[in-house]
Every structure is written in C-alpha cells, then in structure tokens.
C-alpha cells in the first residue's frame, strides 16, 4: 500500500478485467475478486522471497541494477495500462 502507482495498477487492471467479465452472478464476481486478491498476495510474497534470495546471491552492486531494471519495467507497464485504459474507456 506504500506505492500509489501500485494501487492504481491493481485498480485499473482489476477494473478492466471485471468490466470485461460481463454481467455475471454475484458468486462469479466474488470468486473472481477473491482469486485476484489471493493472486496479488502470492505474487507479492514470491517477489519478496526472490528479491531476498537474489540479494544474497548477486551481491549489493548487481542487486542495485536489478532494482533499477525492475523499476523501469514497472513504470513502462504502469504507463501502458493507464494509456490503454484511457483509450478504451475514455476515448471509447
């Protein structure tokens, strides 16, 4: 919850997926949201574990470059999701 971009990322991706689901039942929607939340938690735990192990294996200098590459990739995908969402939902 410390990154506003991460919150925007999950809100926009989740919103787009829910909108594309159509008008399903309450059970289908709650199952999807529960699965989306659980997948997000698992993904976060795996990334933390990999980052911790990577820091021990790679050393501090290489770890710094991997963080930089990760941040750049995240920025690219965040911009992509925002632009594609704007084109799809605002420009129509």
Q: What is the C-alpha separation between 7 and 2, in angstroms, rounded?
A: 8
Q: What is the C-alpha separation between 48 and 13, in angstroms, rounded?
A: 21
Residue with the larger pLDDT of the pair 81 and 9: 81
Q: Tally the domains of the chain.
A: 1
Write down the pLDDT at residue 67: 79
pLDDT, tens only, 34-51: 887 888 788 888 878 887
Q: What is the C-alpha separation between 48 and 22, in angstroms, rounded?
A: 34
Kindly indicate the confidence band of residue 4, based on its pLDDT and cuts at 50, 70 and 90: low
Residue given tokens 């289908």 in the structure block? 28
Kindly indicate the confidence band of residue 70, based on its pLDDT and cuts at 50, 70 and 90: confident
Which residue range is the domain that position 78 belongs to?
A: 4-91
């Amino acid at each position: 919850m410390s990154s506003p971009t991460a919150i925007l990322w999950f809100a926009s991706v989740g919103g787009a997926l829910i909108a594309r689901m159509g008008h399903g039942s309450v059970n289908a929607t709650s199952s999807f949201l529960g699965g989306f939340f659980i997948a997000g938690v698992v993904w976060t735990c795996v990334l933390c574990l990999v980052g911790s192990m990577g820091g021990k294996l790679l050393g501090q200098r290489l770890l710094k470059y991997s963080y930089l590459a990760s941040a750049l990739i995240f920025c690219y995908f965040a911009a992509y999701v925002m632009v594609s969402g704007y084109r799809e939902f605002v420009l129509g």
